[in-house]
A and B are shown apart, each in its own frame.
Chain A
Amino acid sequence: MNTAVTQMRETKEFDLARSKLRELNQFLHGDLGTVKQVRVLNPDGAHSIAVGVDAPVSIQIDGHAGYYAGGMNKLATITIEGNAGPGVAENMMSGRVHVKGFASVSAGASTHGGLLVIGGDAGLRCGISLKGGDIVVGGDVGAFSAFMAQAGRLVVCGDAAENLGDSLYEAVIYVRGHVKSLGADAQFEPMTDADYASVAELLAQAGMTHDPKTFKRIASARQLYHWNADANQEY
């Protein structure tokens, strides 16, 4: 094992140029003892970094992550000092994942809780199948974001590409910039005081400053919740 322990007793380092991913994840799944912070060096696009964590530990990834960084996260605070590949924080249950750079497709797919923050842009299908988690994107989101999103909130500080919120259930989307087009059953709705408060709270948690009054609300029109032959629904 080539793991280097730094001067701080509570911080542990893993250098993926020298140790295996398996060692890192195994450590994170085990008894962390007094370790409160973990630093991952030379991630170089490795997949599945810090997946399945179930402990209130801080993990810093010094570079770009591959697919599924922070997948199925519980309780941990994971920071990626770079970009993230597809499926970052997929199925997160609680905790926080922060991507400083941009995120690839399916960011925050199916998260049940916790907060995913993306400093830059997110690719297509951001928040697909969302199940209760919150996502805040500093830049733009790609097409089909919040596709079939069931619960939770997506805040987009930039623009949204085509088909935003297609087949939306009860999740709510807030967009500050331009929406290229809405997906099936998604509609603009007036912002209420509760919406402004939600946006303000989420932006604060994400460490971003924008005026909540500049955001628009998108939610489900609920026209596809039940089949109706006369309604000419697009099936």
Chain B
Amino acid sequence: MCGIVGLLLKKPEMRDQLGALMLPMLIGMTERGPDSAGMAVFTDPVAADHRKLSLYSGTQAVDWPALQSALAAALGAAVEISVKQNHAVLATTAAPAAVKAWLKAHQPGIMVLSAGRSIDLYKDLGLPAEVARRYDFSHLSGSHLVGHTRMATESAVTVENAHPYTAGEDWCLVHNGSLSNPYQLRRELEPKGIEFDGDCDTEAACRYLEWRMREGDDLETAIEHGFTAFDGFYTFLMGTQTKLALVRDPFACKPALVAETDDYVAIASEFRSLAHLPDVKHATLFEPKPEHIYSWSI
């Protein structure tokens, strides 16, 4: 199944430490999730007329400078790309939908992992420590993050099936557990024009919430609908531009623990991943109640 981590820093001056504080949390979840790992970080937003997209190139070689010029020319917009191993952050004044369409047509091997003004999203195959090293997680900075380590249960170990899942802009979700009606959800959503990337059960939950928010629900209302729609076991941790939200199913079989101080809110599947955090000895520690939506804002 999986391990989940979340961290929200209350003090802006701590933001440069986000990655350093998170790294032991993620490594602590290695046994729960040795197959693949993912991390969504929310940074200071880029300018209102800009958007950034996180891209995954896998092991294929990509001529990034050429791509940058071609894309900028095609869309008539500013495009900047910064690359790290199999990952790139593309900042642009073009609309994300246009960028996605161009990539689909010209570089179908590149996966778009996220879009928004704040979110940067990394996911890759391998042990958490390997993924963390590859993308230099310890130096990430931002206000809050959502991370995940995966032990695949039914779907394949691929990047498409790794978490976090995203929908729209500046929104992501990670899941520990197993939904028992994912295909039913999928078949309800696809006719409504919702597209799926992979075949992991988590994606069904993500797209369902995406649909509800598209229909005008705020996040909390969408999750309330989810209590009736989702069947199975789940702990969900979600991130938006300004918030972290956490919810557990009525049976609460999958673990979750929260540690809160004046400086941060930290969430993990096991206390082991929180033990190193500053002043955790005096943190308020609790386990979220089932069917109860918890959220924290920056």
Contact = CB atoms under 8 A, between A and B. Distances in A.
Most buried by B among A44, A86, A101: A44
A45 B252 contact: no
Nearest to B256: A104
B272 interface: yes
A102 interface: yes
Interface string B265-280: 0000011111110000
Interface string B245-268: 000001111010100000000000
A45 B270 contact: yes
Nearest to A86: B255
Interface in A85-131: 85-86, 101-102, 104-105, 123-124
B192 to A, nearest CB: 34
Contacts of A44: 271-272, 275-276
A104 B255 contact: yes
A228 B237 CA distance: 45
Query: Which of B252, B255, B271, B273 has the largest number of chain A CB atoms within 10 A?
Result: B271
A227 B276 CA distance: 53
A contact patch SS: loop
Contacts of A64: 271, 275, 285
B287 A45 contact: no
Contacts of A132: none
B270 A123 contact: no
A66 B270 contact: yes
A102 B289 CA distance: 13
A157 interface: no
B24 to A, nearest CB: 11
Contact of A124 (B257, B273, B275, B290): B290
A124 B251 contact: yes
Interface residues of B, number: 18
Given A104-B255, A143-B290, A83 B285 contact: yes
A64 B286 CA distance: 12
Contact of B286 (A46, A102, A142, A143): A102
A83 B286 CA distance: 9
A143 B250 contact: yes
A85 B285 CA distance: 12
Given A86-B255, A105-B252, A142-B252, A45 B286 contact: no
B272 A123 contact: no
Nearest to B31: A47
A139 B276 CA distance: 28
B271 to A, nearest CB: 3
B286 A85 contact: no
Nearest to A104: B287
A125 B270 CA distance: 18
Contacts of B275: 44-45, 64
Contacts of B286: 102
Nearest to A163: B250
Contacts of B250: 143
Contact of B272 (A46, A104, A142): A46
A86 to B, nearest CB: 6
A13 B289 CA distance: 36
Interface of A: 44-47, 64, 66-67, 83, 85-86, 101-102, 104-105, 123-124, 142-144
Interface of B: 250-253, 255, 257, 270-276, 285-287, 289-290
24 contacts: A44-B276, A45-B270, A45-B271, A45-B272, A45-B273, A45-B275, A64-B271, A64-B285, A66-B270, A66-B271, A83-B271, A83-B285, A85-B270, A102-B285, A104-B287, A105-B253, A105-B255, A123-B252, A123-B287, A142-B252, A142-B290, A143-B250, A143-B290, A144-B251
The 4 closest A-B pairs by CB, nearest first: A45-B271, A44-B275, A45-B272, A64-B271
